[in-house]
């Protein structure tokens, strides 16, 4: 099948500019417009506490030790805080966005180095326009960093896989050690699996069995352990050992999950979800390769086996979450790219592209028609969207529709090389929709996320309340971050802390979730309490019991407050 030649000088600059602009908007534009979400508060609050205590080796949240994640994930944010001069949502998410950018260009490098520029451009645009990849690249966590260092280690191996000196090995293991210091040993496990697949496919599995490799590995392990060791030596009464928690989070959790338990088959759902909207091309590429495995080149076999091995590795783990398997996305993108450039079955290629185009077309048409849908939604639920949201959705959807019209126009061109560039129009449509979602629509919908406005309204109401007269029903990192107190705010998660707080004289403030207030009811039944502030909730809200409330407790409660 003759392909469009992207090596031509006319196309390369256009595609490079398009890739750079798409990366800027999808990864960085309006990065800080949303309030902290979910676990993001942990990263923000840990770094804030590090600067307050001037202790960067013993992470804590609200005065409680929190060494569940290694140190480098916090240090990189602290580095940007020092450069930026402030700590906010944008700065907390910036390392993830930069690592997302690094992953895109790492994927481009692999595509170009192992195959050609056509595969490199296809894979980069597909990865960049995948929902799960952009979501986690715009989230303050360590998953994007873990992914970026995994790809960096694989790129380094591909470039220097014929060298066998100590320094070459050492640099590779240093990349893995640094990546593992962001979140966990996935940054070392993924390169190991992928490289092992490459050595087996190329019949070179003994090539790197030498003493220099072993010594470099031991040095890399020492580099990984060093920050944990120093933190342990200087811990005094800190109460947690980072290396023990790393072993628990990475090794124990893999074999015997203590949380995040999901069915064995769950990644058959999560991987397509993370790669949305490329579900049909992913299925088409896998089908095409499975049916014609014997005819594949060594490079294609290595890619397919690596993809399958990563999927298998995460599937046999007893602990599962959607974001755990993020490292599979670049290999999925490369697999789709090689399928688009050199399919074995033209029929599967055509079917996959057509269904993929129809999916995007359906989304675009629904988006254009959305202003007519909101009145019905309002009538059924009572929800009124932000004033500009329906128009904004329609405009972005119309932009995506233009790319899809171009796709169907090119489809009818009999010139096969020109027709084969159709996937770029699909990528363009997906990028337009994702830019709209992440950079515009989410920002407009912030009005319906009450946590940050709640805390901003609460701060002036409690500015004269001493910190030791404040309490949280549980250790809520985002609440502590937005309250911005210099001293830790007490948490009532431990029963031993409830009575001393409630018996304290003077006015006190309890910030609690609705569900936590019910658990505290036996303790506070004899307290004089006034509802100071409450988060609004919608009648369809399934998490209404997690909405925040602030209660003012006037005076000391009765001494008989503990349940018998």
Mean pLDDT lowest among 161-165, 187-191, 410-414, 525-529:
410-414
Least reliable range by pLDDT among 323-337, 376-390, 392-406 = 376-390
Model confidence at 202, in pLDDT bands (50, 70, 90)? confident
Average pLDDT score, the chain: 88
- Comparing 146-155, 257-266, 271-280, which segment has the lowest mean pLDDT? 257-266
Q: What is the pTM of this model?
A: 0.92
429 and 470 both lie in a single domain: no
Q: Is the pLDDT of residue 525 over 90?
A: no
pLDDT at 564: 47
pLDDT (average), residues 12-38? 91
pLDDT over 60 at 183, yes or no:
yes
279-312 pLDDT, tens digit per residue, is 999 999 999 999 999 899 999 999 999 999 999 9
The distance in angstroms from the start CA to the end CA of the chain is 79
Q: What was the pLDDT predicted at 505?
A: 83
pLDDT, residue 10, reads 61
In a domain, 7, yes or no: no
Looking at 166-170, 247-251, 492-496, 528-532, which range is the least confident one?
Answer: 247-251
Predicted pLDDT at 378:
81
d(CA 487, CA 485): 5
Residue 5 has pLDDT above 90, yes or no: no
Q: Does a structural domain hold residue 23?
A: no
Q: How confident is the model at residue 4 (pLDDT cuts 50, 70, 90)?
A: very low
pLDDT value of residue 501: 85
Contact call for residues 366 and 396 (beta carbons, < 8 A) = no
Over range 353-360, report the average pLDDT. 93
Residues 318 and 374 in one domain: no
Q: Where among 288, 308, 341 does a domain terminate? A: 341
Judge whether 405 and 361 are in contact, CB under 8 Å. Answer: no
Shared-domain flag, residues 170 and 289 = yes
Domain hosting 412: range is: 346-448
In a domain? residue 436: yes
* % residues pLDDT > 90 (the chain): 54
More confident residue, 331 or 346: 331
The confidence score (pLDDT) of residue 540 equals 61
Rounded distance, CA 141 to CA 50, Å? 17
pLDDT at position 1 is: 47
Tokens of 137: 């690249």
| Complete DSSP assignment for 43-85 | HHHHHHHHHHHT-SSS-EETTEE--SS-SHHHHHHHHHHHHHS
Of 414, 448, 482, which marks where a domain is finished?
448
Place of tokens 């802390």: 497
Per-residue tokens: 337: 């790219």
Q: Which two tokens mark 388?
A: 């500009």
DSSP code for 474: S
For residues 258 and 7, give the distance between their C-alpha atoms in angstroms, rounded to a whole number: 51
Average pLDDT over residues 224-244: 81
- Residue 560, pLDDT > 80, answer no
150 with 78, same domain? yes
Q: Are residues 405 and 321 part of one domain?
A: no
Say if residue 512's pLDDT is above 70: yes
Task: Please state the rounded mean pLDDT for residues 41-62.
Answer: 92
pLDDT category at 419 given cuts 50, 70, 90 is: low
pLDDT attached to residue 45: 94
For residues 399 and 287, state if they share a domain. Answer: no
Determine the average pLDDT of the residues in 476-494.
Answer: 89
Q: Are residues 321 and 468 in the same domain?
A: no
135 and 274 in a single domain? The answer is yes
Tokens of 217: 């590995």
Res. 255: pLDDT tops 80:
no
pLDDT band, very low/low/confident/very high, at 417 (cuts 50, 70, 90): low
Q: What is the mean pLDDT of residues 238-266?
A: 76
Q: What is the mean pLDDT of residues 543-564?
A: 73
What is the average per-residue pLDDT within 57-70?
88
Q: What is the dihedral of CA 429, 431, 434, 439, to 10 degrees?
A: -130
Q: Which residue among 413, 432, 448 closes a domain?
A: 448
Q: What confidence category does residue 179 fall into, taking pLDDT thresholds of 50, 70 and 90?
A: very high
Sign of CA dihedral 368, 371, 373, 378: positive
In a domain, 561, yes or no: no
Give mean pLDDT, residues 434-438.
95
Q: Is 184 contained in some domain?
A: yes
User: Which whole number is the average pLDDT over 410-424?
Assistant: 69
CA distances, 96 to each of 79, 130, 392, 408, 427 (Å): 13, 16, 27, 36, 22
Instruction: Using alpha carbons, select from 114, 203, 208 the residue that is nearest to residue 169.
Output: 208
245: confidence class by pLDDT, cuts 50, 70, 90: confident
10-24, 129-143, 249-263: which range is least confident on average?
249-263
In-domain check, residue 77: yes
224 vs 185: CA distance, rounded Å: 10
Rg, Å, the chain Cα set? 26
Shared domain check, 208 and 91: yes
Report how many domains make up the chain: 3
Bridge pairing between strands 490-491 and 470-472: parallel
Same domain? For 391 and 494 the reply is no
For 551, the 3-state DSSP assignment is: strand
205 and 283 co-located in one domain: yes
Residue of 184 and 276 predicted with greater confidence: 276
* CA-to-CA dists, residue 6 to 120, 297, 424, angstroms: 10, 21, 12
Residues 408 and 486 in one domain: no
Domain contains 16: no
pLDDT, average across residues 329-338: 96
- Is residue 170 in a domain? yes
Judge whether residue 99 has pLDDT over 80: yes
């Amino acid at each position: 099948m003759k392909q469009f030649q992207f090596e031509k000088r006319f196309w390369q600059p256009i595609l490079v500019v398009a890739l750079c602009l798409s990366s800027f908007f999808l990864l960085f534009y309006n990065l800080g417009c949303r309030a902290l979400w979910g676990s993001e508060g942990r990263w923000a609050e840990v770094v804030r506490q590090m600067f307050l205590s001037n202790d960067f080796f013993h992470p804590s949240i609200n005065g409680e030790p929190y060494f569940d994640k290694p140190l480098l994930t916090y240090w990189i944010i602290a580095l940007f805080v020092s450069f930026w001069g402030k700590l906010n949502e944008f700065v907390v998410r910036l390392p993830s966005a930069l690592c997302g950018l690094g992953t895109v260009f790492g994927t481009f490098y692999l595509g170009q180095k192992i195959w050609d520029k056509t595969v490199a451009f296809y894979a980069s645009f597909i990865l960049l326009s995948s929902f799960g990849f952009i979501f986690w690249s715009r989230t303050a966590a360590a998953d994007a960093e873990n992914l970026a260092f995994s790809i960096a280690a694989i790129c380094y191996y591909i470039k220097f896989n014929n060298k066998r000196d100590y320094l070459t090995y050492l640099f590779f293991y240093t990349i893995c050690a640094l990546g593992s210091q962001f979140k966990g040993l996935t940054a070392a496990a993924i390169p190991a699996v992928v490289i092992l697949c490459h050595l087996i496919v190329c019949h070179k599995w003994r090539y790197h069995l030498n003493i220099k490799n072993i010594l470099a590995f031991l040095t890399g392990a020492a580099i990984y352990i060093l920050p944990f060791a120093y933190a342990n030596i200087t811990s005094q009464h800190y109460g947690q050992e980072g290396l023990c928690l790393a072993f628990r989070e990475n090794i124990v959790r893999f074999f015997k999950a203590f949380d995040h338990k999901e069915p064995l088959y769950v990644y058959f759902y999560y991987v397509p979800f993370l790669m949305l909207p490329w579900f049909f091309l992913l299925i088409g590429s896998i089908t095409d390769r499975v049916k014609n495995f014997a005819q594949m080149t060594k490079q294609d076999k290595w890619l397919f086996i690596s993809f399958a091995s990563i999927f298998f590795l995460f599937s046999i783990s007893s602990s599962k979450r959607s974001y755990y398997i993020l490292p599979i996305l670049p290999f999925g993108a490369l697999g789709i790219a090689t399928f688009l450039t050199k399919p074995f079955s033209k029929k599967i290629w055509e079917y996959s592209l057509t269904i993929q185009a129809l999916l995007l077309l359906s989304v675009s048409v629904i988006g254009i028609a959305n202003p007519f849908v909101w009145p019905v939604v309002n009538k059924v639920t009572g929800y009124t969207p932000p004033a500009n949201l329906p128009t904004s959705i329609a405009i972005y959807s119309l932009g995506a529709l233009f790319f899809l019209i171009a796709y169907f126009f090119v489809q009818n061109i009999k010139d096969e090389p020109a027709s084969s560039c159709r996937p770029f129009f699909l990528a363009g449509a997906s990028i337009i929709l994702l830019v709209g979602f992440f950079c515009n629509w989410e920002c407009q919908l912030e009005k319906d996320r009450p946590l940050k406005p709640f805390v901003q309204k609460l701060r002036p109401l409690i500015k004269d309340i001493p910190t030791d007269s404040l309490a949280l029903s549980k250790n809520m990192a985002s609440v502590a971050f937005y309250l911005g107190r210099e001293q830790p705010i007490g948490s009532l998660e431990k029963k031993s802390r409830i009575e001393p707080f409630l018996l304290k004289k003077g006015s006190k403030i309890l910030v609690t979730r609705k569900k936590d207030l019910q658990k505290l009811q036996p303790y506070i039944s004899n307290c004089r309490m006034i509802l100071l502030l409450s988060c609004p909730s919608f009648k369809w809200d399934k998490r209404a019991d997690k909405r925040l409330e602030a209660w003012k407790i006037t005076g000391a409660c009765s001494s008989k407050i503990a349940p018998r």
